[in-house]
Structure 1
Amino acid sequence: MYDVLVFVYENYWHGGACPETEQLSVKLSSKGFEASDIADALNWLDGLRIATAGLQGDSTDTEDTPRPSESALRAWTLQPQSPHAMRVYSFEEQEHLGAEGLGFLRFLEDSQVLPSGMREVIIERAMAAPEAPLSLEELKIIVLMIYWSTGIEPDALVLDELCDDPEGRIAH
């Protein structure tokens, strides 16, 4: 499923540019993806569309429409969260996200690039993924797809963190 999601991310500028489900299914089949992976990915993408429906820009936006600003990203929340609030993860969420995944979400929040509303959509979509616990790489793909779906371009450093393989990094 994740290979299909990466393909969709790499080939469509944003969620609104992605073709309808049936057309996308045909395209993915022609690219050689397994039918079960395509079905899983399309179901997951349908859930993503529903989860982010109220959080995206107007669907009539065009490429000439300016992208959301950094302040818009910070303001993007389902419900405003107090600065002293703390997200308590259920046992099921802890098991499904794993320690690395929870740590990564915390890192994004501490870096102030993950508003609480976006975090909740990420958790919901991560819980919809069939594997448990998710690997860190799978969670990063989910985070990337949330940014993609909403049309919000992540900061360059965040994008680097989401796309870069940490195995090849050298500590200074």
Structure 2
Amino acid sequence: MKESIFNILVYLFQQHIDNEAGQQLNKESLSIELAQAGFHHTEIDKAFNWLERLVVPQYNEESKQLLVESISIRIFTPEEQKKLNSECQGFLLLLEQVGILDPMTRELVIDRVMELGSEEFSLDQLKWVILMVLSHQPKGESINPWIEDFIFDGIDYPLH
């Protein structure tokens, strides 16, 4: 995996998650900060490209409604199965079942994971990507602390 790109993303998320909307961070100042933290410019550019595609694509209302109301089961491609082991796949399914992810955000999470490029992705790495995706959604500017606890601490949630 391009570990340094993932590390850049986690660094940015940890350092700037509480950034208020009024305090705009620009790419240039963040690039300088990341370079001073020891990251390479090539990897910094790749991380910024990854972040630019972190928003759910716009669907027309009909296709959006079909995707949200779908009762189908997500079948992972062989490439996705190679990267996301059964534990990761199960965790994505659980988050969808409890309403933290919808089909669109689930697909965005899978897309972002696949772009990071590696043989296998750990559950902890997946959790970071999920939080990054959720925090960049229109309603996700401030992630509910319960969701963050659920994702990272494995709070028991009664499944019915």
Q: Is TM-score (shorter-chain normalized) higher than 0.5?
A: yes
The separation in 1 between residues aligned to 2:31 and 2:73, in whole angstroms, is: 40
Q: 1:15 to 1:116 in 2, by over 3 A?
A: farther
State the match for 1:125 in structure 2.
112
Q: Does 1:157 align with 2:107?
A: no
How much has 1:138 moved relative to structure 2?
1.1
Higher relative contact order (CA 8 A, sep 6+): 1
State the match for 1:2 in structure 2.
6
Length, aligned pairs only = 143
| CA-to-aligned-CA distance 1:64-109 (integer Å, 9 cap, x gap) | xxxxxxxxxxxxx675333522212211111122212101101101
> Which AA in structure 2 matches 1:110?
Q
Q: Which runs of 5+ in 2 are unaligned?
A: 156-160
Match of 1:31 among 25, 31, 37: 37
Q: CA RMSD in A?
A: 2.9
Q: Which runs of 5+ in 1 are unaligned?
A: 56-76
Choose 111-120 or 16-25, whichever is displaced more: 16-25
1:9-158 to 2 correspondences below 5 Å: 9-12=13-16, 13=18, 19-48=25-54, 51-52=55-56, 54=58, 79-82=66-69, 84-151=71-138, 152=140, 153-158=142-147
**TM-score when normalising by structure 2:** 0.73
> Which AA in structure 1 matches 2:9?
L
CA contact (8 A) 1:121 1:146 kept: yes
How much has 1:34 moved relative to structure 2?
4.0
> Which AA in structure 1 matches 2:12?
V
